[in-house]
Structure 1
Amino acid sequence: MKSFLYLALLLFSTTLLAQTAQIKGIILDESDTPIPSVNVSYLDGGTLTNENGFYNLAIPANKNVIVTISYVGFKKVVFTVNLKEGEDKEINPVLKTDIEQISTVIITGDRRSKVEGLITISPKTIRKIPGANAGVENLLKTLPGVSSNNELSTQYSVRGGNYDENLVYVNEIEVYRPFLIRSGQQEGLSFVNTDMVRNVDFSAGGFQAKYGDKLSSVLSIDYRRPVDFGASLQASLLGASASIEGVSKNKKLSAILGLRYRDNSLFVNAKETESNFKPRFADAQTYLSYQVNDKFELGFLGNVSINKYDYEPFTRQTNFGTIQDPKALLIFYEGQEKDQYETYFAALKGSYEISDNYTAKLIGSVYNTQEQEHYDILAEYRLGDVNTDIGSSDLGEVEFSEGVGAQLTHARNDLDALIFNVEHKGILKIKDHQIDYGIKYTHEDIRDRIQEYEIIDSAGFSIRPPFEDFQNNQPYEAFNAPLESFNSVRAFNSTQINRIQSYVQWSYKTTLGESDAWFNAGVRSHTWAVTNDDETASAQSVISPRAQFAIQPNWEADMLFRLSGGYYYQPPFYRELRGQTGEVNPDVKAQKSVHFVLGNDYSFKMGDRPFKLVSEAYYKKLTDVNPYTLENVRIRYEAANIAEAYAYGFDFRLNGEFVAGTESWLSFGYLKTEENINDRGYISRPTDQRLKFAVLFQDYVPKIPSLKMYLNLVYNTGLPGGSPNYADPYDYQTRLPDYRRADVGFSYVIVDPSENNTNTNWLKVFEELNIGIEIFNLFDNQNSITNTFVRDVYTKRLYSIPNYLSPRVFNVKLSMRF
C-alpha cells in the first residue's frame, strides 16, 4: 500500500512539473535596440531581460496566462497566452515610448548616465551630422570641454589633456590607436564603425573607478546585437562603407560585419601644397554574439585595418604678414613619403549570469600594430616680399627674396607592437547596493627603430643645432667643424611592459528626506614594470581612490546635482617613456591628477518641447607631469617627471528639440591650463584652449519634411603656436589664430525608416534611402594647426609661418539601408 502511495505521489508531482510551457524572445525599442532589465511577469512569477534584451519565462500550460512586460519610460505591454504542455513559443515585443514620459526619455536618457555624469549620444545623430571625419569623434568635438583644431584627425583633447589621456572602450574592451601618426591627413579611419554602434557614453572627467587609468576622459561604446537581417551602404567622394547583419534560425548566433574605405584626396588636393597624394585607408570589423543558454553568452570583436599614405609634394606658396608688409614663403620640393600602418585586433568576451544578483565576465584581447614611416624630402625655399601692384603681371609673386635656403628631412622609422590583455569583471547586487570589481593583466611588447634627421642649409651654409656650448653666427662667421645635422634622432628600442590592474567600487541608491540620492565610491590599483633592452626597472604601483555623489531634490523643478572627484593616475605607455632623443627611460613615474567636478542637470520644457541644461565646473591639480611638445597630432615627451600643472574651467550644454522632432544642442566652455617646468614659472600648456563654442543643429523644411538640414559649427580660440626644434618653449608663447569652422549638410529622404514603405516599385526593397550634399568649411576660413619656422638670413629674424588646413570642400553622399 505504501509503495502504491509513493508511486501515485511521484506520478502526480511529475504531472505537475510537466504541465508547464515556455515563452522567450528579445524585447526591443522602436529603433530595434534590445532593452536590458525589462520586467516580464505573470501572476505567480517573472523574470528580467539580460543585457542583450533576452528573456526566458516558464508559465503554466493549458490555461490562459496574462503576461505583463513593463519598463520605465515605455508603454506597458499586456498579452494572454495559452500554450500546451512543453510548448516553446518565441515572442519579440517592441516597446513604444510612453507619451506621458516622452520628455524624460528623450532628454534625460538612462538614469544611470545622468547620475554618473555621462553624456549619451544617439547613434542616429552620429550617422547624420556632417564632418570631414564623420563619426563618434566628430560629435564629441561639439561637446563642451572637448577640443580639436584639426578636421582631418579623429583625436581630441579634453579639459587641458592631450590625445594620449583619453580612454576608449568598445563593449568594455579597451582599444588603441597607431603610434607613429604625425599629421591628421595620415590617420585614415577611426576604430569605431558608426554603422555598428548601439550606444555611446562619454565622461569628460570625474569618472568612476571601474574605468581605467587615464587623466582626462572615457568614451564607452556598445556595438549592436542584430535581431534580424539587414544591410546598409553609404558612398561619397570621400569613400564608402557597407555593413551586413543577421541572426541564426534559433536566434542564438548573431553577427554584424562592417567594411569601410576612405580617401582623403578631396581635402589634401584642395590645400596650398601641390602634390601627388595617394591615400588608401580600409578596414573590416565584425562583432559576433552567441547565446549559449539563458545564462551564458559569448561575444567576439575583430578588426583589421590597413592604411597606406603615399605623398609626393611639388610646390607650396603661403602668403602671410600684413596688408602693409605682405610676405610669402615659396617652396619647391623633391622626394616623397611612404607610410603604412597595419593594425590587427581580436577580443573574446564571455558573460555568465550566475544568479539574478551576480554576473561574471571574462575578457581577453590581443592588439598588433605594424607601422613604417619612410620619407626623404628636400625643400628649397624662398622667403620674401610679395608684389602687391594690382596692375602688374606678376601680382602675388615673390619679387625680392629675403631668405633662401633648403631643408632635407629623412626618416626610416619602423615599429611593431603587440599588446595582450586578460580581464575578469564581476557585478554583485544586494538589494539597493551594487558591488563592481575587476582584475586585469596586460603585456606590452614594443620593438621600435627610429632613424630620422633634418639638415638645414641657408645660402650655402649648413646650420648646426643651437646647442648652448657654442655660438652659431653663420653665415656671417665661418664655423670650422664637421658638418652636422640640425636635428638627428637614432635609437633602437626593445621594450616590454607588464601591468596588473584591479578595482572595486560600491554603488548605493537611497533617500535623504524627500530627495533621491546616489553614492559611489571605489579604488583602483595599478602595478607595472618596464624592461628595456633586457634591463628591468623596479616595479611601480599607484592607488587611485574615487567617489561620486548625486542628489535629486523633491522640487517642482527637475534638477539633479553631482559632485565627483578623486586621484587619477596615468602610468606611462611606451610613447611617454620615449624621450626627444628616442631613448627609453624606464623609470618615468605615473602622472598624477586630483579631480574635482561639480555638476548640475536641469530638465525643463520650453514651448511644450523638452530641453536639458547641463553645467559643470572643474579643477585639476597635476603633479609628476611629463612635459611634451605637440606638432599637428604628433606628441613628443620629455620622458621625465619635471613639471607640475593645473587646469580649471566650466562647461555648459543646452540640448533639446529646438525644432520639433529633432535634437540639437549648444555648447560653451572656458578652460585655462598651465604648467611649470623645472620651477621656471607657469606657461600655457600646448592644449590651452581658452574658449570653445559649438552648435549642432538639425532642421527640416516644414512643407517638405523629407528635405533636412544638419549644421555642425565650432569656434575655438587659438592654441599656443609651438616652438622650433631645440628651442626653449618659454621663449615661444604666441598663439595661433582662432579656429572657426562650419560644416553643413542637406539631405533628401526618399524612403523614410520611420514610416511604412508602401512603394510598389523598385523602392520597395529599401528600408531607408536618402541622397545629400555636404559643404565642409562653409565660410572658407583659413585655419592653421601648426607653424613652420623659417629664418631670414639677412636680419636673422625667425618667421612663424602657418600651416593651413583644408579650405571649402564639397561632397555628395548616398545612403541606403535594406
Structure 2
Amino acid sequence: MLEIALHLKQHFLENNSLLKIKPFFLIVFFILLPFVGQSQTATLKGIILNKSNLPIANVNIKTSSNGTTSNDNGFYLIKIPANTNIIVEFTHLSFKKITATFNLKNGESFEFNPVLDSQIEQIETIVITSTERNRVEGVTTIKPEIIRTIKGAQPGIENLLKTLPGVNISNELSTQYSVRGGNFDENLVYVNEIEVYRPFLIRSGQQEGLSFVNTDLVQNVDFSAGGFQAKYGDKLSSVLDITYKNPIKFGVSADLSLLGGSISTEAISKDSKFSGIIGLRYRDNSLLVEAKETETNYKPKFADIQTYLTYKFSDKLHVSFLGNASINSYNYQPESRQTNFGTLTDPLALLVYYDGQEKDKYQTYFGAFKANYFLNDAITLKLIASQYHTTEEEYFDILAQYRLGEVNSNIGDENLGEVEFSEGIGSQLNHARNDLDALITNVEHKGSYNYEDHLLEWSVKYTHEDIRDRIVEWEVIDSAGFSINPPNIDKFNEQPYQAYQGPLVPFQNIRATNNTKIDRLQAYGQWSKRDYIGNHEVFYNAGIRMHNWTVSGKDITSKSQTVFSPRAQFAIKPDWDKDILFRLSGGLYYQPPFYRELRNKEGVVNPEVKAQKSVHIVLGNEYSFKMWERPFKLVSEAYYKNIQDVNPYTINNVRIRYEANNVAKAYAYGLDLRLNGEFVPGTESWFSFGYLKTEENINHQGYISRPTDQRLKFGILFQDYMPNIPDVKMYLNLVYNTGVPGGSPSYANPYDYQERLPDYKRADFGLSYVIVNKDKTYSGWKQKFKELSLGFEIFNMFDVQNSITNTWVRDVYSKRQYSIPNYLTPRVFNIRVGMQF
C-alpha cells in the first residue's frame, strides 16, 4: 500500500495543473494518501422508485454486514465487499421485498435503480421503528423538482422560501429574506457544508442579479427557521442547507426566458471515480425594471458560472471542489417619474426629472476544497478550505428635480391626471464613490463518530477576514432654491422667510476609509441519540459552540471577545395509532458581528461591538395523515426569542445600516403553521400561515416595532394539471404580508415615525405544456430531447401596487413632509422554454 501511495504522489507531482493548488492542500493531501486502498470495497448506489416512477423514501437496504436507508429523493448509497457474491435486500413496509446479488470489483461504483411494487397483503397495524432526521431536527425539505418547476420574477430557492411560514420577502426583485423577526444578515447559507457569502454594497433589489444558489445544480434543500443544532454557525435566525448533485449519468439541461437563461451539464467517468456538474446563468432584469413607473435607460449584466467536481481516489477518500465566479454590472440612467398618491378627494402627484447615471460593479469569486476520509464504518473525517473574494464599486451622480402638486381629478377634462398647482419645487443631488475589497479565508476540520445509536460530531474552524473599504457619499437637498441643512444642525434654516447666514453643508455626508481585519476561531461538539421510552421513540441532541473573534486594523484598537452557545433538541414520537411527533428545541444563540455590523452610519468601525445574543425556544408538532387516500402533513411551531445586546439598524430597500453599538434589547414570538400534501394527485402543494410580533427598546426609550415586524403572513404554493391533458400543468405562488415599519426618513429617530408600509400582496401564475416527456418515446426531432416544455407566466397577476420604501418630500410653504411610495413591479408577462438532453 505504501508503494501505491508513493506512485500516486509521483503521478500528481508530475501534473502541472496540481501546481496551482496551494501548498497547504498538498500537505493535507499527501498526509491522507497513505491511507488509500486499505479496504477492498465497492459502491452500490441508485434511486428507488415505485410503479409511478416516483422516489421512495426510507427503504431499508441491507447486507449481511451493514445497511442504510434511502433519503427523501429515493437515493441510496451503500458500501459492499468487493470480489465476492453479496446479497442485498431492499425492504419497505408498503412494498414487496427485492433481493439481488452483486459481485463488484474493488473501487467499482455500480448504479442499480430498483422499482418496488405495492404490497398485496393488508397490514392492520403498522409500527414505524425509524424516525426521519428532518422531522426530529425541525428541518423543512423542499424537493429540487419543485424549485426547478416553480419560477418567479426572481427565480430560485428564495422564490419558494417566501411561501413558508416565518419567512418574509416583500420585494420580488430581491433574494434577501427575513425569518421570524430577524434581518437579512441573520441567515446562514451552506452549499455542501461550505458557508457562502453575499456582496456588501448592494442597496436595492434590482442591483442583486442572481442568487448564489444555482437551482440547476441542486440535489437537496433543507431549511430551518430556528432552534437549529450546534453544528450550524453563529447566526440568530435561520439555516439554508443546500446539497449539490453528485451526477450518476450524463445530462444537459437549459432554461430560456425573457429574463435570461441558464444551461448546465453533468457527467460521470466510466469508472465512476470522477463526476462533475457545471452551470452557467445570465440574468437581465430589464423586463421588470422598465415596467416600473420610473422611465430609465437600463443596461444590466448579471452572469455567473458554478461547478461542483468530485474525485474518488478510493472508497475511503473523496475530494470535491466547489467554484463560483460572478460578474454583475449595473448601469442605470433614470429619466423621469410620476407617482400619484393621496386620496380621491385630495389627489397629489410627484413629478421627477432626472439627470445623471449610476454605474455599479460587483465581482465575486469563490473556491472551496473538501476532502472526505471514511476511516471506517463509524468514523468520518473532513477537511474544508475555502476562499471568497469580492471587489465592489458603487458610483453614481444623480440630480433629481421635482414638482409636488395637486392633480386634476375632473373626469372628462383634457388635462385629467396632470399637476395643475405646484405646492413644492426642489431638487436633490446624490453622489457616491464607494469601493470595497474583501478577502475571506476559511479552514475547517469536521468529524463524526457513529456508534450504535449514538452520533458524535465535532469541528474546529479558523477564519480570516481582510476588508478594505472606502466610502465617499453625500447628498444635497434644496427646496424652492434654498439648501436644506441636515437634521443634526440645531438651527434649521427657515428659508425663504428668513435669511440663513450659516455655512451651506450637505444634507448627508459620509467620508471614511477602513482597513479592517477580523480573525475568528470557532469550534463545536454535539451528541445525538435515538432511543425508546417504553414503546415511544425519542431523539436527543445536545451541543455547544465556541466563537472567539479579534478585530484589528489601521487606526483600530485591537479587541478580542469570546462567546459560548449551548443548544439542545428533544423529540418524541408516541406509540399511537396516529403518526404524531412532538419536538422541543432551543438554546443560547450568538451572532458575533460581521464587518457591516461594526461600521456605523458615518462609516466608522467600532471594534467594541458585542455579539447579539438570543435565548431561543421552539415548540413544534408534526401530524402526518391521509386524506382522499393521499399523504398530508400539518406542521406547527410556536417560538419565542429574548434578544439582548441588540445592534439597532434601519432598512432602506435591501440596504441595512447599523448603529454599531449594543444599546437595545428586543423580543420576538409567534406561531407558524404549514399544511402540505397532494391536494391534486401526483403534485405537492402547501398552505402557510404565520403570526409574528417583534419589538425593541433602544436606549430605554420604550418598546417599538422592529423594522422586520411583519405581523401576519399567508403563503400558498399550489400545483395542478388538466385531468384530460396531464401534460398541461400550472402553478400559483401567492403571498400576503402585512406591512412593516419603514415609512420614516433614514435620518429620523424611529420613535418619531412608526408609520407602516402598505400590505404586500402578490400572486404569480405559471402555465406550461410538456411537449416531450422522458417517460415516453418519440420519433423525429422530438427524440433529441429527454424533456421539452413551453411555459407562460404572469408575474403580479392582479397588478397590485406594492411599495418597498418611501421618498420624503418637503412642501416649502406648509413645512409638511409627504411620504411618496416607491412602487415595485406591476403586472409583467414572461415566456419560458425548458429542455433536457
Which structure 2 segments of 5+ residues have no match?
A: 1-38
| Equivalent in the alignment of 2:551 | 530
Q: 1:516 to 1:88 in 2, by over 3 A?
A: closer
Task: Please say if residues 41 and 315 of structure 2, whose CA atoms lie closer than 8 Å, have aligned partners that are also in contact.
Answer: no
- Offset, 1:66: 3.9
| Equivalent in the alignment of 2:326 | 305
Task: Please say if residues 381 and 448 of structure 2, whose CA atoms lie closer than 8 Å, have aligned partners that are also in contact.
Answer: yes
Q: 1:569 to 1:90 in 2, by over 3 A?
A: closer
Q: 1:304 to 1:32 in 2, by over 3 A?
A: farther
- Offset, 1:65: 5.8
- Offset, 1:540: 0.1
Matched, 1:127 2:148: yes
**Deviation digits for residues 236-293 of structure 1, max 9, x if unmatched?**
0000100011011111000100000000000000000000000100000000001110
- Offset, 1:460: 1.2
Q: Aligned partner of 2:507: which letter? A: F
SS of the residue aligned with 2:255? strand
The partner residue of 1:58 within 74, 81, 84 is 81
| Equivalent in the alignment of 1:759 | 778
SS of the residue aligned with 1:742? strand
Q: 1:497 to 1:404 in 2, by over 3 A?
A: same
**Deviation digits for residues 445-473 of structure 1, max 9, x if unmatched?**
00000000000011111001012532432
Task: Please say if residues 750 and 768 of structure 1, whose CA atoms lie closer than 8 Å, have aligned partners that are also in contact.
Answer: yes
Q: Aligned partner of 1:212: which letter? A: G
Matched, 1:774 2:793: yes
Query: 1 CA distance for matches of 2:59 and 2:316?
Result: 14
Q: Aligned partner of 2:651: which letter? A: L
SS of the residue aligned with 1:450? strand
- Offset, 1:722: 3.4
Q: 1:100 to 1:809 in 2, by over 3 A?
A: farther
Q: Aligned partner of 1:815: which letter? A: G
Query: 2 CA distance for matches of 1:383 and 1:406?
Result: 11
**Deviation digits for residues 408-465 of structure 1, max 9, x if unmatched?**
0000000000000000001111211111110100000000000000000111110010
Q: Aligned partner of 1:763: which letter? A: K
Task: Please say if residues 73 and 97 of structure 1, whose CA atoms lie closer than 8 Å, have aligned partners that are also in contact.
Answer: no
Query: 2 CA distance for matches of 1:415 and 1:535?
Result: 18
- Offset, 1:98: 6.5
- Offset, 1:573: 0.2
Task: Please say if residues 629 and 722 of structure 1, whose CA atoms lie closer than 8 Å, have aligned partners that are also in contact.
Answer: no
Matched, 1:27 2:27: no
| Equivalent in the alignment of 2:89 | 68
Q: Aligned partner of 1:640: which letter? A: N
| Equivalent in the alignment of 2:595 | 574
Instruction: Provide TM-score, normalisation by structure 2.
Output: 0.91
Q: Aligned partner of 2:224: which letter? A: S
| Equivalent in the alignment of 1:444 | 465
Query: 2 CA distance for matches of 1:271 and 1:108?
Result: 56
The partner residue of 2:283 within 245, 252, 262 is 262
Query: 2 CA distance for matches of 1:327 and 1:82?
Result: 80
Q: How does 1:445-464 map to 2 (within 5 A)?
A: 445-464=466-485
Q: How does 1:203-222 map to 2 (within 5 A)?
A: 203-222=224-243
Matched, 1:718 2:746: no
- Offset, 1:41: 1.6
Query: 1 CA distance for matches of 2:41 and 2:450?
Result: 27
| Equivalent in the alignment of 1:799 | 818
Query: 1 CA distance for matches of 2:634 and 2:46?
Result: 31
Query: 2 CA distance for matches of 1:706 and 1:791?
Result: 56
Task: Please say if residues 157 and 213 of structure 2, whose CA atoms lie closer than 8 Å, have aligned partners that are also in contact.
Answer: yes
Query: 2 CA distance for matches of 1:375 and 1:117?
Result: 45
Q: 1:72 to 1:507 in 2, by over 3 A?
A: farther
C-alpha RMSD of matched pairs (Å): 2.5
Q: Aligned partner of 2:528: which letter? A: S
| Equivalent in the alignment of 2:835 | 816
| Equivalent in the alignment of 1:407 | 428
Matched, 1:676 2:681: no
The partner residue of 2:538 within 494, 506, 517 is 517
| Equivalent in the alignment of 2:190 | 169
Q: 1:782 to 1:236 in 2, by over 3 A?
A: same
Task: Please say if residues 32 and 227 of structure 1, whose CA atoms lie closer than 8 Å, have aligned partners that are also in contact.
Answer: no
Which structure 1 segments of 5+ residues have no match?
A: 1-19
Q: Aligned partner of 2:829: which letter? A: F
| Equivalent in the alignment of 2:670 | 649
Task: Please say if residues 466 and 472 of structure 1, whose CA atoms lie closer than 8 Å, have aligned partners that are also in contact.
Answer: no
Query: 1 CA distance for matches of 2:571 and 2:200?
Result: 38
The partner residue of 2:707 within 657, 665, 686 is 686
Query: 2 CA distance for matches of 1:163 and 1:73?
Result: 43
Matched, 1:748 2:769: yes
Query: 1 CA distance for matches of 2:94 and 2:457?
Result: 26
Task: Please say if residues 592 and 611 of structure 2, whose CA atoms lie closer than 8 Å, have aligned partners that are also in contact.
Answer: yes
- Offset, 1:530: 0.2
SS of the residue aligned with 2:160? helix
Matched, 1:637 2:658: yes
Query: 1 CA distance for matches of 2:533 and 2:394?
Result: 59
| Equivalent in the alignment of 1:613 | 634
**Deviation digits for residues 641-690 of structure 1, max 9, x if unmatched?**
01000000000000000001100000000000010000000111100000
| Equivalent in the alignment of 1:593 | 614
Matched, 1:481 2:481: no
Query: 1 CA distance for matches of 2:504 and 2:41?
Result: 84
Instruction: Provide TM-score, normalisation by structure 1.
Output: 0.93
Query: 2 CA distance for matches of 1:703 and 1:134?
Result: 29
| Equivalent in the alignment of 1:112 | 133
The partner residue of 2:804 within 782, 785, 789 is 785
Query: 2 CA distance for matches of 1:518 and 1:397?
Result: 67
Q: How does 1:174-253 map to 2 (within 5 A)?
A: 174-253=195-274
Q: 1:89 to 1:342 in 2, by over 3 A?
A: closer
Query: 2 CA distance for matches of 1:408 and 1:81?
Result: 74
Task: Please say if residues 653 and 668 of structure 1, whose CA atoms lie closer than 8 Å, have aligned partners that are also in contact.
Answer: yes
Query: 2 CA distance for matches of 1:87 and 1:406?
Result: 76
- Offset, 1:170: 0.2
Q: Aligned partner of 1:149: which letter? A: S
Q: 1:114 to 1:34 in 2, by over 3 A?
A: closer
Matched, 1:559 2:585: no
| Equivalent in the alignment of 2:515 | 494
Query: 2 CA distance for matches of 1:65 and 1:250?
Result: 20
- Offset, 1:74: 7.0
| Equivalent in the alignment of 2:369 | 348
Query: 2 CA distance for matches of 1:251 and 1:585?
Result: 52
**Deviation digits for residues 339-381 of structure 1, max 9, x if unmatched?**
0000000000000110111101000000000000000000000
Query: 1 CA distance for matches of 2:331 and 2:103?
Result: 67
The partner residue of 1:79 within 90, 93, 100 is 100
Percent identity between the aligned chains?
63
Query: 1 CA distance for matches of 2:265 and 2:134?
Result: 30
| Equivalent in the alignment of 2:292 | 271
| Equivalent in the alignment of 1:41 | 63
**Deviation digits for residues 214-234 of structure 1, max 9, x if unmatched?**
000000000000011100011
| Equivalent in the alignment of 1:287 | 308
Task: Please say if residues 407 and 455 of structure 1, whose CA atoms lie closer than 8 Å, have aligned partners that are also in contact.
Answer: yes
Query: 1 CA distance for matches of 2:762 and 2:690?
Result: 17
Query: 2 CA distance for matches of 1:810 and 1:804?
Result: 18
| Equivalent in the alignment of 2:28 | none
Matched, 1:369 2:390: yes
Query: 2 CA distance for matches of 1:73 and 1:536?
Result: 65
- Offset, 1:33: 9.0
Query: 1 CA distance for matches of 2:641 and 2:103?
Result: 61
- Farther-moved stretch of structure 1 (27-36 vs 701-710): 27-36
- Offset, 1:97: 5.8
Q: 1:263 to 1:33 in 2, by over 3 A?
A: farther
Q: 1:372 to 1:73 in 2, by over 3 A?
A: farther
- Offset, 1:809: 0.1
The partner residue of 1:427 within 424, 448, 451 is 448
| Equivalent in the alignment of 1:9 | none
Query: 2 CA distance for matches of 1:207 and 1:37?
Result: 27
